[in-house]
Structure 1
Amino acid sequence: MQTTTTTDIPAPTTAERVRTALIRADTTMLAVDGCDPISTTVHHLHDEGHVAIVVPSRSDAVDLAWRAGAAGLSAMLELTDHSPLRLRNPVRSLIWLSGTLRPVDEPRRLAAEIAEILPHPELLDVGHTTELLQLELTSVVAADTTGAESVELGAVLDAAPDPFAIYETAWLQHMEDDHADIVARIARRIPSTSRTGRIRPLGLDRYGLRLRIESGEGDHDVRIPFHEPVDDPTALSRALRMLIGCPFMNGLRSTH
């Protein structure tokens, strides 16, 4: 797959993309030395650089972690962010979090603390059918159509997830199903020589909209930036109206 990139186009930093993937990734796998990879349900990043992970209590990973004890064992958590639309290549990004996996002494207490921030129903099963493990991070790598990049852990801890991460799926599906005309109008900002295939909404964040162009020559992505970054639905609505050239694009302008 190819991608269209321009260095001066505003876009999330790699660290921001990692924080967003921790919220939005729909497929996660934990790879541990000594056993087959297993799927996980909850992954929460603490300020200290540890990721709390919920896994089935009868999994080999739990047994190996307790055997290793405080010394821990090498492990990697892979996060896959898929497009909510039926694209030819649905994978938008991959995140690899590597480090040392250890058991948690009081998993139910930690689960309760996490639930105050991330009220995931799977946390209720900790201590019953699931178990909490902690991955102390030593390496973070992110990959998308532009390539793979390592990012400093400190940058990841300082970054914030995109404010629209939990809404993006519904919005992209709505654009695809009900507003193909809007996608077509925004796509006019792409040079005509590049609009040689089917244009689909790929991603939306505070910096702009990403479009996927599917053609016989292959797929490539284009970022359409907003005039300025946005942080709330009102500003996002205004930014989208500006992209399509709506006559009421300023939204809050008084008519009196």
Structure 2
Amino acid sequence: MSDSHGWAAAPATAERARSVLAASWSCTVTADGGREEFVGAHTAEEDGRVLLRVPEDSALLTAAICAPRGEPSAVLEFADVAPVPVRSRIRARLWLAGWFTPDGDRLAFRATRIVLKQPSGAVAVDLDEFAAAAPDPLATAESHLLTHLADAHPDAVQRLTRLVRSESLQGVVRVQPLAVDRHGLTLRIERTGAHGDVRLPFHAPADDVGQLTERMHALLGQAAAAACPRALQRQRTDGDR
């Protein structure tokens, strides 16, 4: 990250977990009846509960409802996949262990244990914090925002690399936007046989797309300012020859 950034705010663990849940389109459910993947079949409630619509003949339904009392009836897994093609596209995995109970034509899932696994490692999420947290306000729009940035504004992505320390760009073969949240933008720096991530924090949180546009323009302004000293340094070096 550039030394010019003093604020390195990032989402709290519970907020990150709720964002993964809010943005995920599919989930995998493991129970005694087996392992099934459901696409477009779940919704996340404000209190963190998950409502899942399953076929009436699903073995999962029978296994979940008939699970012995006192034991978790299922584990739900959600994968957070980077919308822009990059190496190692799985940014995080979220596991919820807990109970299913019938809720009309759906199953309601209440977690008793939550684990979020990111590249930095796996961490248990406090249940009360998870229930109280809200997903990042950009979570459901992130996929469109990042693909638009990568496809329509690759020049802007390249300009943003001026905010990255030069040693982090040695041997770089590609730079792509990896993630964005209200606190900042993360770039994936790919080199031959390796990669790393650099976070560019915003000067203030962005709570909607309009504010995000302003924060991105501010980053690009910082990138333009960062390019000036480098150009002056090159001029001085050339003049000394």
* TM-score normalised by the chain length of structure 2: 0.81
CA, structure 1 residues 83+152, in 2 after alignment: closer, same or farther (shift >3 Å)? Answer: same
Name the counterpart of 1:142.
Answer: 116
Provide the rounded CA distance (Å) in 2 between the counterparts of 1:164 and 1:74: 32
Identity in percent: 36
Kept after mapping to 2: 8 A contact 1:78/1:96: yes
CA, structure 1 residues 155+194, in 2 after alignment: closer, same or farther (shift >3 Å)? Answer: same
Name the counterpart of 1:186.
Answer: 160
- Bigger mean CA offset, 64-73 vs 181-190: 64-73
Cα deviation per residue 1:32-73 (whole Å; 9 max; x = unaligned)?
A: 1232333252132352x5322222322101122343487775
Q: Tell whether 2:56 aligns with 1:57.
A: yes
Instruction: Report how far residue 206 of structure 1 moved.
Output: 0.3
RMSD: 2.4
SS at match of 1:245: helix
Instruction: Report how far residue 156 of structure 1 moved.
Output: 1.0
Q: Tell whether 2:155 aligns with 1:156.
A: no
CA, structure 1 residues 50+24, in 2 after alignment: closer, same or farther (shift >3 Å)? Answer: closer
Instruction: Report how far residue 185 of structure 1 moved.
Output: 1.2
Name the counterpart of 1:113.
Answer: none
Alignment of 1:188-227 (within 5 A): 188-196=162-170, 197=172, 198-227=174-203
Kept after mapping to 1: 8 A contact 2:26/2:37: no
Name the counterpart of 1:110.
Answer: none
Letter in 2 for 1:183: V
Larger Rg: 2
Q: Tell whether 2:11 aligns with 1:35.
A: no
Instruction: Report how far residue 137 of structure 1 moved.
Output: 0.9
Cα deviation per residue 1:135-164 (whole Å; 9 max; x = unaligned)?
A: 221111111112111110111111111111
Kept after mapping to 2: 8 A contact 1:209/1:224: yes
Kept after mapping to 2: 8 A contact 1:206/1:229: yes
Instruction: Report how far residue 233 of structure 1 moved.
Output: 2.4
CA, structure 1 residues 72+139, in 2 after alignment: closer, same or farther (shift >3 Å)? Answer: closer
More relative contact order, 1 or 2 (CA 8 Å, 6+ apart): 1
Q: Tell whether 2:150 aligns with 1:176.
A: yes
CA, structure 1 residues 7+59, in 2 after alignment: closer, same or farther (shift >3 Å)? Answer: farther
Name the counterpart of 1:231.
Answer: 207
SS at match of 2:17: helix
Letter in 2 for 1:98: A
Kept after mapping to 2: 8 A contact 1:26/1:82: no
Kept after mapping to 2: 8 A contact 1:53/1:133: yes
Letter in 2 for 1:19: R
- Bigger mean CA offset, 57-66 vs 89-98: 57-66
Q: Tell whether 2:58 aligns with 1:45.
A: no
Provide the rounded CA distance (Å) in 1 between the counterparts of 2:211 and 2:64: 46
Structure 2: which 5+ residue stretches go unaligned? 224-241
Letter in 2 for 1:100: W
Provide the rounded CA distance (Å) in 1 between the counterparts of 2:52 and 2:69: 17
CA, structure 1 residues 17+210, in 2 after alignment: closer, same or farther (shift >3 Å)? Answer: same
Provide the rounded CA distance (Å) in 1 between the counterparts of 2:146 and 2:24: 15
